[in-house]
């Protein structure tokens, strides 16, 4: 059963500006493995923006939005061996997921030069 669906679009230029101002934003929003992954890609800002969109979409699907206690860094996006993205939850994000008896999260990321987007579906 679908618990929630979330979609988010992010302007790559907005994220590029944030990541260009030092490491504070990166460390607040992204895990070290996400930072390593994005910085290894041809267009890091597009990848950072897609992951930012996925975190926003996850919070929308969860139904908490920014109002909850979940920190962005607690919502981690990794890729399997085939490149498919998946979530690894930590801290409060993991606690809420377990408390609500949620089963699975699906995520799709996409990006072009100007815009990155993500769609998240959470199953109960």
Tokens 């981690």 belong to residue: 76
b/e map of 38-67 (b: 16 or more CB within 10 Å)? beeeeebbbbbbbbbbbbbbbbbbbebeee
Catalytic site residue 60? Answer: yes
101, 106, 111, 113: the catalytic one is 111
Catalytic site residue 27? Answer: no
Alpha-carbon distance of 32 to 28, in angstroms, equals 10
17, 55, 60, 84: the catalytic one is 60
The residues assigned a catalytic role are 60, 111
């Amino acid at each position: 059963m679908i618990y929630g669906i979330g979609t988010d679009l992010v302007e790559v230029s907005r994220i590029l500006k944030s990541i260009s101002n030092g490491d504070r934003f990166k460390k607040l929003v992204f895990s070290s493995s996400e930072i390593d992954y994005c910085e290894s890609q041809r267009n890091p800002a597009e990848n950072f923006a897609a992951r930012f969109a996925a975190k926003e979409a996850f919070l929308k699907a969860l139904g908490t939005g920014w109002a909850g206690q979940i920190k962005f860094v607690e919502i981690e996006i990794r890729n399997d061996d085939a490149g498919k993205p998946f979530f690894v939850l930590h801290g409060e994000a993991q606690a809420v997921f377990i408390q609500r008896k949620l089963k699975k999260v699906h995520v799709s990321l996409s990006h072009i030069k100007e815009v990155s987007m993500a769609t998240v579906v959470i199953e109960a």
